[in-house]
Amino acid sequence: MKIIVMKFGGTSIGTGENIRNVANIVRNSSKKGDKVVVVVSALAGVTNQLIHEAEELTKGKEGRIQEFVKELTEKHLQTIDIAIENKKLKEETKHSAKKIIEELEKILIGICYVGELTLKTKDQVLSFGERLAALIVSATLRDYNLESQYFTGKEAGIVTDSKFGEANPLMNFTTHQVIERIKPLLKKNVVPVITGFIVANQDGVLTTLGRGGSDYTATILGVALDVDEVWIWTDVDGIMTSDPKIILDAKTLTGLSYGEAAEMAIFGAKAMHPRALEPVIKKHIPVRIRNVFNPKNHGTLISEGAKVESKEVVKAIALITDVSMINIRGAGMVGAPGSYAKIFRILGKNNINVMMVSTAVSEANISIIIRNNQLERAMSTLEIALLGRDLANKITSEDDVCVIAAMGANMKGSLGVASRIFSAVAKKKINIHMIAQGSSELNISFVVKERDGPIAVSAIHEEFNLNK
């Protein structure tokens, strides 16, 4: 018997049929005697719709609420229609879904009248996607003759700080409460279905764990309940050596260390919420990424031991697009303590996230990578703050670049990896604009022109035989 937390993402439960597929997966595990805790995201696309609607409503367009509520209701009722066969259960679930959406409608009207959307209120709005999903998935499990009960993350006992929009779990208290509330259900063979992403602070006010936060909920619960494994069910076979849209013969990786997986999550190998691994690393709980549409495949196992077995140096290559490079030059930065700090303070104050930094020992220039959509704001704030004073005399930007990150735990301490990467790229006559290697030595990242990105990625993929 194993205890497994299974998280199902938006596409895994995007339609009624898919929810039945999920119920089938859970039932199969239960039949084997495993105890399953289910964590769900909102149905595919719903979170984005909720954000968009809430933002539009700050402009006071009350008239659109009705239309939105109608669409959202239809979407969920149609899903229920297909997911649940038992008539009585179907009607009950539809009734509950309507009740939940009525509550949302009131909040939307409130936003419209107040004309602003605080992070706190936004979390409230976003919570409805997961609440509806948990209701439907739990009812579908009952339709499959499993005993099931659904909870919000708050009801399950997860407690966070009050950082709305990106809250942090308070693990000790959370563990205590989750054991008290969820363990007894497992003993009675009840499958708890818990909303991912939405949780609450100590005062019981709703918070969220950041976009994609259902993964984080899954690992928090996994640690609290000290489970055997956490499974993140998604719509691909696992974490791959590269994006299969660029590299046709990219392979699924069977094993990754926590460090490698965390590095890849950060670099946008969309497999996981970047912070989701934090709780499990300390407790050595394995995490498995699996495909709901191909459950025969065992997926990618992220665990403590994975890196020791592997001989590969570079294991995966990510291509990060939609980024821009800013170059700041000025002799004023040389030997002037605090000059870099000033630049980062300006960016930080304006909520501009720096993804990558590189400077030379000459100190006369610094290159920064940020998201494309923040470029305009970053440039104007930097220009206003820096130009015409002593620090910098030239600030330029390029918005047609991309970042390539080669990753693998065994890169640490292996000689010649960088030279193999850069020779492979040079052979394709591609110019490198910026390089950075973090002190973790788990990855080497560099910047090339966007049009060269895919060619550079395939050159490295080939050099390290990742398709074999």
List residues binding ligand ASP (CB under 6 A). Answer: 9-10, 41-42, 47, 129, 196-197, 211-214
Q: Is 145 exposed, middle or buried (0-12, 13-18, 19+ CB in 10 A)?
A: exposed
Judged by CB under 5 A, the residue of 10, 129, 192, 454 near Mg ion is 10
Q: Note whether 466 and 246 are within 8 A (CB).
A: no
Q: Is 379 exposed, middle or buried (0-12, 13-18, 19+ CB in 10 A)?
A: middle
Q: Which does 157 bind (CB under 5 to 8 A by kind): Mg ion, ligand ASP, none?
A: none
- DSSP-assigned letter for residue 315: -
- DSSP-assigned letter for residue 235: S
| Residue 8 or 150 having the CB closest to Mg ion | 8
Q: Which residues, 340 to 369, sit near Mg ion by CB under 5 A?
A: none
DSSP 292-307: TT-TTS--EEE-STHH
- DSSP-assigned letter for residue 372: G
Residue nearest to ligand ASP as judged by C-beta position: 214
Please report how close the Cβ of residue 212 comes to Mg ion at its closest, in angstroms. 5
Please report how close the Cβ of residue 231 comes to Mg ion at its closest, in angstroms. 15
Q: Which does 42 bind (CB under 5 to 8 A by kind): Mg ion, ligand ASP, none?
A: ligand ASP
**Helical (H) or strand (E) element with 53:** helix 46-57
| Residue 50 or 159 having the CB closest to ligand ASP | 50
| Residue 217 or 374 having the CB closest to Mg ion | 217
Q: Note whether 339 and 385 are within 8 A (CB).
A: no
Q: Which residues, 32 to 71, sit near Mg ion by CB under 5 A?
A: 41
| Residue 213 or 454 having the CB closest to ligand ASP | 213
Computed on alpha carbons and rounded to an integer, the radius of gyration of the chain in Å comes to 24
| Residue 209 or 326 having the CB closest to Mg ion | 209
Residue 241 sits at the vertex; the CA angle it makes with 237 and 242, to the nearest 5 degrees, is 95
Please tell me the total number of residues recorded for the chain in this structure: 468
- DSSP-assigned letter for residue 158: -
Please report how close the Cβ of residue 19 comes to ligand ASP at its closest, in angstroms. 15
Q: Does 454 bind Mg ion (CB under 5 A)?
A: no
Please report how close the Cβ of residue 216 comes to ligand ASP at its closest, in angstroms. 8
Q: Which does 129 bind (CB under 5 to 8 A by kind): Mg ion, ligand ASP, none?
A: ligand ASP
| Residue 269 or 411 having the CB closest to ligand ASP | 269
CA nearest to 293, candidates 101, 24, 75: 24
Please report how close the Cβ of residue 199 comes to ligand ASP at its closest, in angstroms. 11
Please report how close the Cβ of residue 133 comes to ligand ASP at its closest, in angstroms. 8
Q: Residue 105 and residue 110: Cα distance in Å, rounded?
A: 9
Please report how close the Cβ of residue 40 comes to Mg ion at its closest, in angstroms. 10
Q: Which does 279 bind (CB under 5 to 8 A by kind): ligand ASP, Mg ion, none?
A: none
Q: Residue 409 and residue 412: Cα distance in Å, rounded?
A: 6
Residue type at 375? Answer: L
| Residue 43 or 191 having the CB closest to ligand ASP | 43
DSSP 56-83: HHTTT-THHHHHHHHHHHHHHHHHHHHH
Please report how close the Cβ of residue 97 comes to ligand ASP at its closest, in angstroms. 17
Q: Which does 310 bind (CB under 5 to 8 A by kind): Mg ion, ligand ASP, none?
A: none
User: Dmax of the chain from CA atoms?
Assistant: 75
Contacting positions for Mg ion (CB under 5 A):
9-10, 41
